[in-house]
A and B are shown apart, each in its own frame.
Chain A
Amino acid sequence: MVSIDIETEDGQKEALRRMMLIRSFDDTAGTLFADGEIPGFVHLYIGEEGVGVGACAALEPDDYITSTHRGHGHCIAKGLEPQSMMAELYGKRDGYCNGKGGSMHIADVDAGMLGANGIVGAGPPLATGAALSAAQKDEDRVALAFFGDGAVAQGQVHEAINLAATWDLPAIFLVENNQFGEGTPVEKQHNLENLSETAEAYDIPGFTIDGMDITAVYEAVQEARERARNGDGPTFIEADTYRFRGHFEGDQQPYREDDDIQEWQSRCPIDSFASRLVDAGVMTDDEVESLRAEVDEEIAAAAEYAQNADEPDPTEAYDDMYAVSVPELTMFAGRSVRADGGSPTNTDQ
């Protein structure tokens, strides 16, 4: 049972809503970051929504995904709650990781979301491992790794694909080719024109698809999932897409032209899917706009919730290191003078 059946009208509306949620979440996160509300740094998924939502819609709810540093979209696509995500971006206790992870490490293992990841190329081995676990337990689950075009140059990505291919594991490797690895164009990083040709090296199916078209992504992942579940091993999918914003917020983007951005923006995955739904009579223009307004309201409420949520207690910094209690943490915890000038909480040294 797919997570969102986009062959039905309800499913199509839900897919559109998810893409709008991602857009609104990241627009808001970008603004809040610029305002100095959100610490650290954020990488926005704007422009790539069709890939995350199309792929996760075709997965079943119990399936696993691994994500990237640009992970907000994958989280929302997998069904995570914007409110707890926003709280995590703010470093609040109610965030998905209790404020310990932030934008780059949002995870919800119970929901099959094995973590955004700050290391380019680190997700595919984890997905191979999740697929191995599912295969060994004979569970009806697959693992999909989202990774970027930049990650295709990483050795561990190839090791992960080779292992999954050799062992026929139920894995899907989905490259989001957003045309830039950080600040360097894809053609300056790879000798292959189509990154999906990588699949030939592992004797697995490989496809390049239009990542701006949610249905193309949905269909490719649905087929790949079928193949994985039949014991036929992994599939390599390259989704051509485009990052409308910089690598990170604040990136001056000297590496690209305005014309290129505009051309890709004219193929916006949300607008194009909405138009198709209107043309097909599934929704009216007014309904699309009221859905957008509803989504914006939900994200604004999530941001307000996050702003007002409780900070973690400083002593929580010592929690969650190990499943067991480790004496070193008791010995060393709270020795430092706190940033607010407060005394060390542990003077036993």
Chain B
Amino acid sequence: MSTETGTTHGKSTETMTVREAIREAMREEMQRDEDVFLMGEDVGLFGGVFDVSNGLLEDFGEERVKDTPISEAGFLGAGVGAAATGSRPIVEIMFSDFMGVAMEQTMNQMAKMRYMFGGKTEMPITVRTTEGGGMGAASQHSGTVHTWFAHFPGIIAVAPGTPAAAKGLLKSAIRSDDPVFFFENKMIYEQSGEVPTDPDFTLPIGEANVEREGDDVTVIATQRLVGESLQAAEELDSELSVEVIDLRSLYPLDTETIVDSLEKTGRVIIADESPISYGTHAEVMARLMENGFYSLDAPPERIGVPDTHIPFSPSLEQEVLPSAADVTAAIRRLT
């Protein structure tokens, strides 16, 4: 981690990557609360397949940083049982594509227990998992599946686009008494940014953040596409004023922030790496239609994966993955 520090809004910050932000969030919450523990495949000795939990085993020992068998239904289910009995597990699912084998425990146990039991149990579990294409990992290790979880009642779903959002939201997720899915786009682990150093820094789940203010068009983005959209906005800076919002929280969704932006700019692009149909884009658009229809100056646009799986060959992969160029092209079409 960089030792470089600075201040933002009068608060002390330091520069760190998304990877470091996630690691520090876990470290701080494990120090703060001894009921918090991490388990998953290769999270301990290996340090996490993307190096995210590196060092935590040394700091907290095998009891609290647990390497599991390759058995997602078993250990995710055990996480649910542990959460129902007073622990606060962080369960890592190495790639979100593997959630298929653990869906039963997610949809019928984790998501439903509080409701089915009339509110008489807490479910303080955090599930961290990776999403996104861009590293030639092919279809079974590159998906963006967060819409499934945002759609499913009983689950909170967050997907940060910056290091500060990653740290603040993960800490809130771990402290939450509800099940939270925390989606990490694997291509932004190296992305750096300013993060508050206060160990009590958290960000409220359910709030989007205006990363860049603008008047002509709004880009509502998630994860990697926040950075891509900021880049597009920067490139167009001399001709257009582009507002970029990091949606941060998929469910609950911050209707107010996105509608306020629509009312200001009248033009909206939704950039999310999910497949386009029936996705996060559609829900964001529905909220805009229901609450801001008469502020629209043009039909909104969706940027995402064009309903394909993620192919292996880099030339094919680049074809389907949205980027800053796609955001720029959409802005041009809309303005």
Shortest CB-to-CB span from A331 to chain B, Å, is 8
**B87 with A107: CB separation less than 8 A:** no
| Residue of A with least CB distance to B112 | A105
The 10 A-B residue pairs whose C-beta atoms are closest, nearest first, are A129-B81, A125-B77, A159-B74, A320-B119, A98-B118, A126-B81, A129-B78, A323-B177, A97-B118, A129-B82
Whether B198 is near chain A, meaning CB under 8 Å from some CB there, is no
**A163 with B78: CB separation less than 8 A:** yes
Task: Give residues in B with beta carbon < 8 Å to A.
Answer: 35, 37, 63-64, 66, 68-69, 71, 73-87, 89, 104-105, 108-109, 113-122, 153-154, 156, 176-178, 205-206, 251-253, 255, 290
**B119 with A319: CB separation less than 8 A:** yes
| Residue of A with least CB distance to B156 | A322
Shortest CB-to-CB span from A315 to chain B, Å, is 14
**A133 with B87: CB separation less than 8 A:** yes
- 1/0 per residue, CB under 8 A from B, across A90-130: the answer is 00000111111100010111100011011100101111111
Which of the residues B66, B76, B86, B176 comes within 8 Å of A323, measured between beta carbons?
Answer: B176
Which residues of chain B are within 8 angstroms of A167 by Cβ–Cβ distance? 66
Count of chain A to chain B residue pairs whose CB atoms are closer than 8 Å in the complex = 166
Whether A280 is near chain B, meaning CB under 8 Å from some CB there, is no
Give Cα A130 to B87, complex, Å: 9
Shortest CB-to-CB span from A121 to chain B, Å, is 8
**B84 with A114: CB separation less than 8 A:** yes
Shortest CB-to-CB span from B67 to chain A, Å, is 10
**B109 with A126: CB separation less than 8 A:** yes
Give Cα A243 to B30, complex, Å: 47
**A115 with B113: CB separation less than 8 A:** yes
Shortest CB-to-CB span from A104 to chain B, Å, is 9
**B154 with A321: CB separation less than 8 A:** yes
A109-B84, A125-B78, A126-B80 given; A323·B69 CB < 8 A: no
A125-B77, A128-B77 given; A97·B116 CB < 8 A: yes
Task: Give residues in A with beta carbon < 8 Å to B.
Answer: 64, 66, 95-101, 105, 107-110, 114-115, 117-119, 122, 124-134, 136-137, 143, 155-156, 158-160, 162-163, 166-167, 319-324, 326-328, 331, 349
Give Cα A323 to B121, complex, Å: 9
Give me 9 A-to-B residue pairs in the complex whose CB atoms sit less than 8 angstroms apart, sorted by A's number.
A125-B76, A132-B82, A156-B73, A156-B77, A159-B69, A159-B73, A163-B78, A322-B114, A323-B178
A321-B114, A326-B252, A327-B255 given; A107·B120 CB < 8 A: yes
**B105 with A125: CB separation less than 8 A:** yes
Which residues of chain B are within 8 angstroms of A323 by Cβ–Cβ distance? 114, 122, 176-178
Which residues of chain B are within 8 angstroms of A136 by Cβ–Cβ distance? 37, 63-64, 82, 87
A115-B113, A327-B255 given; A108·B120 CB < 8 A: yes
Give Cα A136 to B115, complex, Å: 27
Which residues of chain B are within 8 angstroms of A143 by Cβ–Cβ distance? 81
Shortest CB-to-CB span from B84 to chain A, Å, is 6
Which of the residues B84, B118, B153, B290 comes within 8 Å of A126, measured between beta carbons?
Answer: B84
Give Cα A290 to B101, complex, Å: 52
| Residue of B with least CB distance to A316 | B118
**A107 with B117: CB separation less than 8 A:** yes
Give Cα A100 to B178, complex, Å: 18
**B82 with A159: CB separation less than 8 A:** no
**B156 with A129: CB separation less than 8 A:** no
**B69 with A126: CB separation less than 8 A:** no
| Residue of B with least CB distance to A141 | B85
**A129 with B79: CB separation less than 8 A:** yes
**B116 with A115: CB separation less than 8 A:** yes
Which residues of chain B are within 8 angstroms of A96 by Cβ–Cβ distance? 117-118, 120
Which residues of chain B are within 8 angstroms of A162 by Cβ–Cβ distance? 69, 71, 74
| Residue of B with least CB distance to A113 | B117
Which residues of chain A are within 8 angstroms of B177 by Cβ–Cβ distance? 323-324
